[in-house]
Amino acid sequence: MTKQLMSGDQAIARGAWEAGVMFAASYPGTPATEILESLAHYPEIHAQWSVNEKVAFDQGMGAAIAGVRAFVSMKHVGVNVAADSFMVFPYAGTNAGFVLISADDPGTHSSQNEQDNRYFAKFAKVPLLEPSDNQEAKDYVKLAYQISEQFETPVMLRVTMRLAHTKGLVEHGERSTAPKKPFVKDNLKWVVPPFAKAHRSPLENKMRAMEQYAETFPANKIEKGTGKADFGVITSGVIFQYAREVLPDPDFFKLGLTFPLPKQRLLDFCSQYQKVYVIEESEPFLEEQLRFCGIRNIAGKEMFTNIGELSPELIAQQMNGTIAPTDFSKEISTPARPPMLCIGCPHRGTFTALNRINGITVTGDIGCYTLGGLPPYNTMNTSFEMGGSIGQAFGFEKAGEPRTVAIIGDSTFLHSGIPPLLDAVYNKGKTTVVIVDNRTTGMTGQENHAGTGKGIHGEPAKQVDYEKICRALGVEFVKHASAFRPEEVEGAVREAIKFDGPSVVISEGPCVLIPEEKSKPKVAFTVVADECIACGLCFHTGCPAILESAETYRASASQKPRPKAIIDPLICVGCTLCAAVCPPECIVRVDGKPWGA
Amino acid sequence: MTHNFLFAGVGGQGVVLASEVLALVAAAEGYDVKQGEVHGAAQRGGAVVSHIRFGERVYSPLNLRGQVDVMVAFEKLEAVRHAHYLKPGGVLIVNDHRIEPTYLNTAVKYPEDPIGFLKTKSYRVLSLNATETARVLGNERVSSLVMLGAVSKFTPLKASSWDEVLQDRIPAKYLELNRRAFAEGQRTMA
């Protein structure tokens, strides 16, 4: 058998393929994005980016109820979006296998919170698997489908960023497919609301049966240590790997199925030691359940923080008392390299425009443009979750803050921005919305969506028309502007704010990382030093390619000399933004050609 | 015994590709391997750090601070940022190349002599200018292969395994250039 180096995400995709999955859907979100990206390479599977996680989940439900194995993957906060479906699906259960992957992000490397989605599985009464390495990531997906079909239930498999993005060796297997199961119309089963009460106790019975199953489930296993320790450890997921790295001696109860738990086996395990340590990242999910079983000789969250990621060092420190060396880089000057907008990013122009309008509050959303809440822009004043900006702007307006502008990306607008805009129309708001359309899902790696005109494989697809959508919702003011022409965006937004009704400005400029932009020849710009009046407006765009020159300028002898601008020709991509804001028009293409109409 | 490597640099320098090559060479020789880094928002213009561990059986994908055998820094400020992961006496191969942070906060200046600072610590600091070597060879982008050539001298992995992985991973038209860059890197550590 061949072993290949694969990331956790790739291994999950491989597992879905081997399990005979026919339908897969997702919405991009770190650290889950690469799962569906990998699945799209398997031609036997219909894999797609859906407009949001709930739509993906519902589509997967439909496919599974209709009789084929279905797969949906998303980042932890995506499950919030899909939760309405996820919480009700178990009442009916499924026909063919259905697996939800939740890729959590302890440490918020690329997320707005670090919610522990294991609680979602318990909340929805759905079995939960947690692989600890790449091989298990693949194998557990296959196990998840077995459980799903045996108990006619959706199953959740949870990974964290460390496993999703770590590469390890995975032994490949063959794909096995089953014929489509027949869908039998049975309204007592599949039409849940009128019969919800009737579903309720069978769901509890199913839970009891799954609890029994957990007692003999092979991926819940005792991993013997050297025998030199007088305590035991209970753990799961990638934390098993961290803990075993630094604790070779104790016996571990390694849980593969973390809901429902094998209570009897855990009681037996705990009774063998004076003390058992429950080592888990994020919240005390296992510990709470163990305490609920009446187990007293355990220690958990009082030793292992629920904030951020755990690390092998932290476990070694708490268990062995070993102190790892600390970061000494601050002994000298070490500037940070924080995340920043790419050079040539269209959002920079939109921020420049909004910063010129005094007295506005900007409610923000989720995407690369969330960096607009940071220096040097400080344009955006709120940002929480996907699609929140528009409803929040409406709330600001009703609370007596009328000069509020919502800023939302193209993909985010399609994900969850349409209902709040419709609401602003219906409830007589005057909300102003700036849709920053960069023609891709930028932050997660340039995935296509319903607004890009391309499908997941780059094939042509129907392209949404934002203006027509907005007008159909009842928005009477819709204007387009080029993000690289801040005066256009500024003018349109000023008009939009004055307009007596909801208004939309579509600020257009393609992401520099999409293939058609990357392949375009780049001509850098340069400053004609003799004509530069050191006004500083190009610096205000925040472009890192624009630097302070040693040369200075002052309009009169009474003024302080100010530095002129120079442009780093190696990193400038010729986006034209600085040229567009330059009053004396002294920023020009290095080849001397005109820079566009 | 686990072999612990840490690669650090700036997004765009080929840190991830280089660490994948090392992981693949180790896998080709039958070791258990884990390699990982953070992707996503953290990568835009930012520092990149990748952990590579191989041995008979590797548990943690993350290195422990103070236990890395060999650290490879593709940029000298990034060497300073992560050197505390090295064990005392560990090998620090550092590219004597400066990439100014593109962040506009000028309050914190780039350090004057980061390599000199690192030499005051208890590591075996070996510096080379892989970026310049790569430029002389004709393409700055192969600096990551120069670094790989240098680190190859501090691994138990066979020369033939490295070459097999390079043949596998590098498009044919760039293979010779990459091989030359790798050989140059090896030579600097001779």
CATH number reported for the structural domain that contains residue A548 in this entry: 3.30.70.20
The last residue of one of the domains, among A481, A497, A518, is A518
Report the CATH number at residue A242: 3.40.50.920
Verify that A355 and A441 share a domain, yes or no.
Answer: yes
By residue range, what is the domain housing residue A286? Answer: 221-320
- Give residue B46's pLDDT: 81
Contact A338 B109 (CB under 8 A): no
Contact A312 B64 (CB under 8 A): yes
The two structure tokens encoding residue B111? 């350090």
From the CA of A350, how many Å to the nearest CA of chain B?
Answer: 19
Q: Of B10, B27, B61, which is closest to A166 when you measure between CB atoms?
A: B61
pLDDT band of residue B43 (cuts 50, 70, 90) is low
Give domain status of residue A197, yes or no: yes
The count of residues in chain A is 597
Name the CA dihedral angle for A346, A542, A341, A589, rounded to a multiple of 10 degrees: 50
Contact B39 A328 (CB under 8 A): no
Within the 135-194 window of chain A, which residues sit less than 8 Å (CB to CB) from chain B?
Answer: 161-163, 165-169
- Counting residues of chain A whose pLDDT is more than 70, the rounded percentage is 99
Q: Is the CB of A246 inside 8 Å of chain B's CB atoms?
A: yes
Verify that A177 and A53 share a domain, yes or no.
Answer: yes
Verify that A66 and A47 share a domain, yes or no.
Answer: yes
Verify that A73 and A211 share a domain, yes or no.
Answer: yes
The last residue of one of the domains, among A169, A184, A216, is A216
From the CA of B109, how many Å to the nearest CA of chain A?
Answer: 6
Judge whether A44 and A18 are in contact, CB under 8 Å.
no
Judge whether A220 and A262 are in contact, CB under 8 Å.
yes
- Give residue A570's pLDDT: 86
CA–CA distances in Å: residue A414 to residues A50, A455, A521, B79:
10, 15, 31, 42
Burial class (CB in 10 A: 0-12, 13-18, 19+), B156: exposed
From the CA of A286, how many Å to the nearest CA of chain B?
Answer: 21
- Give residue B42's pLDDT: 45
Residue B104 has pLDDT above 70, yes or no: no
Tens digit of pLDDT for each residue in B62-74?
Answer: 999 999 999 999 9
What is the mean predicted confidence (pLDDT) over A578-595? 94
Tens digit of pLDDT for each residue in A354-412?
Answer: 999 999 999 999 999 999 999 889 999 999 999 999 999 999 999 999 899 999 999 99
Verify that A293 and A188 share a domain, yes or no.
Answer: no
- Give residue B106's pLDDT: 65
Give domain status of residue A106, yes or no: yes
Verify that A86 and A206 share a domain, yes or no.
Answer: yes
Element spanning A440, H or E: none
Residues of A in contact with B114 (CB under 8 A): 332
Judge whether A283 and A119 are in contact, CB under 8 Å.
yes
Contact A341 B108 (CB under 8 A): no
Q: Is the CB of A375 inside 8 Å of chain B's CB atoms?
A: yes
Tens digit of pLDDT for each residue in A263-303?
Answer: 999 999 999 999 999 999 999 999 999 999 999 999 999 99
Within the 422-481 window of chain A, which residues sit less than 8 Å (CB to CB) from chain B?
Answer: 443-444
Residues of A in contact with B120 (CB under 8 A): none
User: What mean pLDDT is reported for chain B?
Assistant: 93
What is the mean predicted confidence (pLDDT) over B178-187? 97
What is the mean predicted confidence (pLDDT) over A543-561? 93
Tens digit of pLDDT for each residue in A427-453?
Answer: 999 999 999 999 999 999 999 999 999
Contact A5 B23 (CB under 8 A): yes
Contact A242 B60 (CB under 8 A): yes
Residue B40 has pLDDT above 70, yes or no: no
The last residue of one of the domains, among A518, A539, A568, is A518
- Return the closest-CA partner of residue A101 out of A124, A77, A71: A71
pLDDT band of residue A595 (cuts 50, 70, 90) is confident
Domains of chain B: 2-129+161-170 (3.40.920.10)
Residue A473 has pLDDT above 90, yes or no: yes
Q: With a cut of 0.90, is the ipTM above it? A: yes
Q: Of B36, B66, B109, which is closest to A335 when you measure between CB atoms?
A: B109
Report the CATH number at residue A449: 3.40.50.970
Within the 24-43 window of chain A, which residues sit less than 8 Å (CB to CB) from chain B?
Answer: 30-31
Judge whether B55 and B27 are in contact, CB under 8 Å.
no
Give domain status of residue A491, yes or no: yes
Verify that A28 and A141 share a domain, yes or no.
Answer: yes
The count of residues in chain B is 190
Query: For an interface test with B, which of A10, A246, A329, A330 has the most B Cβ atoms less than 10 Å from its Cβ?
Result: A329
Tens digit of pLDDT for each residue in A74-110?
Answer: 999 999 999 999 999 999 999 999 999 999 999 999 9
Give domain status of residue A212, yes or no: yes
Verify that A184 and A283 share a domain, yes or no.
Answer: no
The two structure tokens encoding residue A126? 């759905």
- Give residue A15's pLDDT: 98
Residues of B in contact with A317 (CB under 8 A): none
First CA to last CA distance, chain B: 25
- Give residue B107's pLDDT: 79
DSSP annotation of A294 reads: T
Give domain status of residue A342, yes or no: no
Contact A339 B20 (CB under 8 A): no
Q: Kindly give the residue spans of alpha helices, DSSP state H, lying in A192-335.
A: 192-216, 238-246, 263-271, 285-292, 312-320
User: In angstroms, rounded to a whole number, what is the distance separating the alpha carbons of residues A353 and A69?
Assistant: 49
Count how many domains chain A has: 4
User: In angstroms, rounded to a whole number, what is the distance separating the alpha carbons of residues B184 and B129?
Assistant: 11
Give domain status of residue A596, yes or no: no
Q: Is the CB of A245 inside 8 Å of chain B's CB atoms?
A: yes
Residues of A in contact with B64 (CB under 8 A): 245-246, 311-313, 316, 324
Element spanning A461, H or E: none
CA pseudo-torsion sign B92, B98, B101, B105? positive
Residues of B in contact with A329 (CB under 8 A): 80-84
Give domain status of residue A509, yes or no: yes
Verify that A429 and A570 share a domain, yes or no.
Answer: no
Verify that A357 and A480 share a domain, yes or no.
Answer: yes
Verify that A73 and A197 share a domain, yes or no.
Answer: yes
Verify that A7 and A144 share a domain, yes or no.
Answer: yes
- Return the closest-CA partner of residue A230 out of A273, A277, A279: A273
CA–CA distances in Å: residue A402 to residues A331, A357, A388:
49, 14, 17
Strand order in the sheet with A70-75: A46-49, A23-26, A70-75, A98-104, A155-160, A128-129, A257-259
- Counting residues of chain B whose pLDDT is more than 70, the rounded percentage is 94
